[in-house]
Amino acid sequence: MMEPIMHAFVESLRHHMTAEDVVNVEACMNCKRCGDACAWYLATGDEQLHPTYKTNFLRSIYRRYMTLEGQVGGMLGLVDTPTVDDLREHMASFWQCTACGRCTLACPAGISTRRLVRLARSAYSDAGLSDENPTLRSIVQNLRQNSHSFGVNPINILARYGLFLTAMNLEMPVDVQDTDILFVCPSAANTKIPDYAIKVMAILNAANVSYTVSSRMVETGTEADHVVVHHDLTKRVLEAWESEAERLGARKLLVVECGCDTRTLFADATEILGRPLKFPVILFDPLIYERIQSGELPVEKVDTTITLHDPCHSTRLAGIGDAIRDLLNSVASNFIEMTPNREYNYCCNGGAGACACRKIRNYAVRYRCSRPTRSAIPGPNWSPPPAWCACSRWKIPARPTI
State in Å, rounded, how far the first CA of the chain is from the last one: 54
Burial class (CB in 10 A: 0-12, 13-18, 19+), 354: buried
Per-residue pLDDT averaged across 339-355, rounded?
Answer: 76
Q: Quote the DSSP letter at residue 345.
A: P
Q: Write out the residue range of the structural domain in which residue 9 sits.
A: 4-132
Helix (H), strand (E) counts: the chain: 22, 6
The pLDDT value recorded for residue 363 is 42
Domain presence at residue 295: no
For 183-342, where are the alpha helices, taking DSSP H only?
A: 187-192, 196-206, 222, 231-248, 259-263, 269-273, 284-294, 312-315, 321-331
Q: Which residues contact 82 (CB under 8 A, 6 or more apart)?
A: 6, 57, 60, 61, 64
Q: Are residues 139 and 165 in the same domain?
A: yes
The pLDDT value recorded for residue 190 is 85
pLDDT > 60? residue 255: yes
* Cα 261 to Cα 234: distance, rounded to the nearest angstrom: 11
* Cα 338 to Cα 102: distance, rounded to the nearest angstrom: 16
Q: Are residues 155 and 281 in the same domain?
A: yes
The CATH number assigned to the domain holding 99 equals 1.10.1060
The pLDDT value recorded for residue 183 is 96
Q: Which of 190-194, 260-264, 383-387 has the lowest mean pLDDT?
A: 383-387
- Of the CA atoms within 13 Å of residue 344, those in its CB half-sphere come to 8
b (16+ CB within 10 A) / e for 312-335:
bbbbbbbebbebbbbbbeebbeee
Q: Which residues contact 330 (CB under 8 A, 6 or more apart)?
A: 289, 292, 293, 299, 301
Domain presence at residue 280: yes
What integer best gives the mean pLDDT of the chain? 87
The answer to whether 375 touches 385, Cβ cutoff 8 Å, is no
The pLDDT value recorded for residue 364 is 42
b (16+ CB within 10 A) / e for 364-398:
ebbebbbebbbebbeeeeeebbbbbbbbbbbbbee
Q: Are residues 153 and 270 in the same domain?
A: yes
Domain presence at residue 95: yes
Per-residue pLDDT averaged across 122-150, rounded?
Answer: 94
103, 132, 161 - which closes a domain: 132
The answer to whether 187 touches 151, Cβ cutoff 8 Å, is no
pLDDT more than 90, % of the chain: 58
Per-residue pLDDT averaged across 283-304, rounded?
Answer: 93
Q: Are residues 11 and 96 in the same domain?
A: yes
Pairing of strands 302-306, 332-335: parallel
Nearest to 391 by CA among 362, 364, 355: 355
Per-residue pLDDT averaged across 180-203, rounded?
Answer: 89
The predicted model scores a pTM of 0.88
* Cα 119 to Cα 14: distance, rounded to the nearest angstrom: 10
Q: Are residues 143 and 123 in the same domain?
A: no
Our count of domains for the chain comes to 3
Domain presence at residue 127: yes
Q: What is the pLDDT of residues 225-244, one digit of tens each?
A: 999 999 999 999 999 999 99
Nearest to 96 by CA among 72, 121, 129, 73: 121
Domain presence at residue 293: no
pLDDT > 60? residue 380: no
Measured CA distances, 189 to 149, 196, 217 (Å): 11, 6, 14
Measured CA distances, 21 to 27, 108, 180, 221, 355 (Å): 10, 16, 38, 24, 27
Domain presence at residue 400: no
Q: Which residues contact 146 (CB under 8 A, 6 or more apart)?
A: 152, 153
Q: Are residues 367 and 224 in the same domain?
A: no
pLDDT > 80? residue 309: yes
* Cα 221 to Cα 130: distance, rounded to the nearest angstrom: 17
Q: Are residues 254 and 357 in the same domain?
A: no
* Cα 175 to Cα 214: distance, rounded to the nearest angstrom: 5
Higher pLDDT, 12 or 357: 12
Q: What is the pLDDT of residues 83-98, one digit of tens each?
A: 999 999 999 999 988 8
Nearest to 236 by CA among 220, 250, 247, 215: 220
The pLDDT value recorded for residue 388 is 62
Domain presence at residue 209: yes
The answer to whether 49 touches 96, Cβ cutoff 8 Å, is yes
Q: Are residues 266 and 317 in the same domain?
A: no
Domain presence at residue 402: no
Q: Is the dihedral of CA 294, 189, 121, 59 positive or negative?
A: positive
132, 162, 183 - which closes a domain: 132
Q: Which residues contact 130 (CB under 8 A, 6 or more apart)?
A: 91, 121, 124, 136, 137, 140, 228, 230
Q: Are residues 251 and 313 in the same domain?
A: no
The pLDDT value recorded for residue 398 is 45
Residue 175 region, left (φ>0) first, then alpha (ψ -120 to 50), else beta?
Answer: left
Q: Are residues 110 and 209 in the same domain?
A: no
The CATH number assigned to the domain holding 279 equals 1.20.1050
Cα 319–chain centre separation: 14
Burial class (CB in 10 A: 0-12, 13-18, 19+), 247: middle
Q: Are residues 144 and 100 in the same domain?
A: no
234, 265, 288 - which closes a domain: 288
Per-residue pLDDT averaged across 187-204, rounded?
Answer: 87
pLDDT band at 367 (very low <50, low <70, confident <90, very high): very low
Q: Are residues 207 and 322 in the same domain?
A: no
